[in-house]
Chain A
């Protein structure tokens, strides 16, 4: 399983949309990097597959996805949990 980092999140987001500057605190919805199609068809499958986590409906809140930093923190907290559960 991959170890999560902000850089990895950013580079994945760049594979979806190459243009523009993408920083750890870029607001992904406001800047057009994320919308519902991208989040459900691309981002969530990628996070679940690459980091072996299961995303729960209650986790789908802006606070977990608004910026690369927030996605990173969310995934990190989930991977910690998944391991703990094993």
Chain B
């Protein structure tokens, strides 16, 4: 590792193309690209864009399905001095519309022909066909000269991408992330998990999810390989594991639900995956029950629970599993990543200590630049450090409640919005949910609160009997946390992001009954 600080993510591609020009960088079932070609194509795209739009630091949309060309376009945009915004052709039209309304892109890059009928009509900016970038013969020196001039005008705090998450109001919020944050993150991840050019990432998450940032930039930082796994395979656990073997995938960073499907359907009993050496997860709570199934089959792999929001690049806390967990026991979210700091603030405004619960804040290199075209929301979440007022110290307020355990690790408790007052006591609905999750024959539990009747309502999926759940919870929880009503539901409703749709459950179970 050289000691000169990397300032632009294109330096990763340039280094990799120099050292390992014939290594494959990205691969999907239709195509693959070597580092040599990736550099060549990214520069061609970069040059083309720089001719199309005036100025730098402008948003450029990549409107494609998850594929090799989509990744290549990201780096092309970065080399043009602009920042990319990934809009997947699978996203709902309405959501795409809202994003474009907030973003006002300078250009949109598409791949001709294969957008599965979802052609977006948008006439407020230039449209660029991916293949067009390579159709003209331009003198290599001319390209290099122009891109170099652009690079000279950039600093590492310039945005690399804007990633949209669903805001609570239904309007997507675009987190702006700089080159500096992504580089700090990729450096930390590579050092912590010992990534090198032999790493093969099995990419599960969409490129409009922050988890993909780990896959993409750890890959190029190390001249490694990113293998895009066809989405369909996540419905066929045995086929999925066979695919990992076939493609020599050794590193995965998946959402817990993908890992859980493999565990629940006993796929590891049918297919061994001896090549898997690093298994990372984030995005939801990883249940110990399913994690233990993975650990019993692959005891030598490194497992880590990562935690953080899109606003801080991807994550800011991590826990590498170093001890056993009983089914139902929460897996900690651990300690801050390198050059990151995390602290929790109690309701009284003090820094939380061991055993205390507080709201989680992040400061440090991964913290993003705020929300695009949204000063108000930015001000609410990117705030002055509440622990002092001596100098400007902008920190990110997560809205997540955490507890510090006996090992001095953070443990996720729940969203601040889910904390309720019930029979005079402060209750974390998330705590009831995770306790119920350990109950036999119970697959998933969600708690909602009816403030009018002061009732806690537990909704669950699984074959368990209500009486058994109550008996079980009484062993684990204080009396005031035992649900007042319990209902079995066939399947948890999910919102467009694949998370449980609590609002819908609330609408169904509160208003319908009052």
Contact A60 B232 (CB under 8 A): no
Cβ-neighbour of A62 out of B236, B265, B498 (below 8 A)? B236
Q: How would residues 216 to 250 of chain B score, 1 for a CB under 8 Å from any chain A CB and 0 otherwise?
A: 00000000000000011011111100000000000
Which of the candidate stretches B348-356, B381-389, B413-421, B489-497 sits at the interface with the other chain?
B489-497
Residues of A within 8 A of B490 (CB): 45, 49
Q: Assuming the A-B contacts A41-B491, A57-B266, are A34 and B235 also in contact, with contact meaning beta carbons closer than 8 angstroms in the complex?
A: yes
Q: How far is the CB of A47 from chain B (nearest CB, A)?
A: 12
Contact B494 A35 (CB under 8 A): no
Interface set, chain B 254-293, CB cutoff 8 A to A: 257-258, 261, 265-267, 269-270
Residues of B within 8 A of A42 (CB): 491
Contact B90 A60 (CB under 8 A): no
Interface set, chain A 1-54, CB cutoff 8 A to B: 29-30, 32, 34-37, 39-42, 45, 49
Contact A57 B267 (CB under 8 A): yes
Cβ-neighbour of B235 out of A40, A49, A58 (below 8 A)? A40
A15 CA / B265 CA spacing, docked (Å): 25
Q: Assuming the A-B contacts A36-B235, A65-B235, are A60 and B491 also in contact, with contact meaning beta carbons closer than 8 angstroms in the complex?
A: no
Residues of A within 8 A of B116 (CB): 30
Q: Assuming the A-B contacts A36-B261, A41-B491, are A60 and B237 also in contact, with contact meaning beta carbons closer than 8 angstroms in the complex?
A: yes
Q: Assuming the A-B contacts A32-B90, A36-B261, are A60 and B494 also in contact, with contact meaning beta carbons closer than 8 angstroms in the complex?
A: no
Chain A interface secondary structure, helix, strand, loop or mixed? Answer: helix
Q: How far is the CB of A35 from chain B (nearest CB, A)?
A: 7
Q: Which residue of B lies closest to A40 (CB)?
A: B261
Q: How far is the CB of B496 from chain A (nearest CB, A)?
A: 11
Q: How would residues 483 to 514 of chain B score, 1 for a CB under 8 Å from any chain A CB and 0 otherwise?
A: 00000001110100010000000000000000
Q: How would residues 289 to 314 of chain B score, 1 for a CB under 8 Å from any chain A CB and 0 otherwise?
A: 00000000000000000000000000
Q: Assuming the A-B contacts A36-B258, A36-B261, A60-B265, are A41 and B235 also in contact, with contact meaning beta carbons closer than 8 angstroms in the complex?
A: no
Residues of B within 8 A of A36 (CB): 231, 234-235, 257-258, 261
A60 CA / B265 CA spacing, docked (Å): 9
Contact A37 B231 (CB under 8 A): no
Contact A45 B238 (CB under 8 A): no
A66 CA / B498 CA spacing, docked (Å): 21
A60 CA / B237 CA spacing, docked (Å): 7
Cβ-neighbour of A29 out of B235, B257, B494, B498 (below 8 A)? B235
A60 CA / B232 CA spacing, docked (Å): 12
Q: Which residue of A lies closest to B234 (CB)?
A: A36
Contact B491 A58 (CB under 8 A): no
Q: Which residue of B lies closest to A62 (CB)?
A: B236
Q: Assuming the A-B contacts A36-B258, A40-B261, A45-B491, are A58 and B237 also in contact, with contact meaning beta carbons closer than 8 angstroms in the complex?
A: no
Contact B491 A39 (CB under 8 A): no
Q: How far is the CB of B417 from chain A (nearest CB, A)?
A: 23
Q: Assuming the A-B contacts A60-B237, A61-B239, are A35 and B265 also in contact, with contact meaning beta carbons closer than 8 angstroms in the complex?
A: no
Residues of A within 8 A of B257 (CB): 36-37
Contact B237 A62 (CB under 8 A): no
Q: Assuming the A-B contacts A40-B261, A60-B238, are A35 and B491 also in contact, with contact meaning beta carbons closer than 8 angstroms in the complex?
A: no
Residues of B within 8 A of A45 (CB): 490-491
Contact B236 A37 (CB under 8 A): no
Q: How far is the CB of B425 from chain A (nearest CB, A)?
A: 33
A35 CA / B206 CA spacing, docked (Å): 13
Contact B492 A41 (CB under 8 A): yes
User: Which residues of B come within 8 Å of A, CB atoms?
Assistant: 90, 116, 231-232, 234-239, 257-258, 261, 265-267, 269-270, 490-492, 494, 498
Please give 6 more A-B residue pairs, beta carbons under 8 A apart, in addition to A34-B235, A61-B239: A35-B234, A36-B261, A40-B235, A60-B237, A60-B265, A61-B238
Q: Which 4 pairs show the lowest CB-CB distances between chains A and B?
A: A36-B234, A41-B491, A36-B235, A39-B235
User: Which residues of A come within 8 Å of B, CB atoms?
Assistant: 29-30, 32, 34-37, 39-42, 45, 49, 57-58, 60-62, 65
User: What are 30 A-B residue pairs whose CB atoms fall within 8 Å in the complex?
Assistant: A29-B232, A29-B235, A35-B232, A35-B235, A36-B231, A36-B234, A36-B257, A36-B258, A36-B261, A37-B257, A37-B494, A39-B235, A40-B235, A40-B261, A41-B492, A41-B494, A45-B490, A49-B490, A57-B265, A57-B266, A57-B269, A58-B238, A58-B270, A60-B235, A60-B237, A60-B239, A61-B238, A61-B239, A62-B232, A62-B236
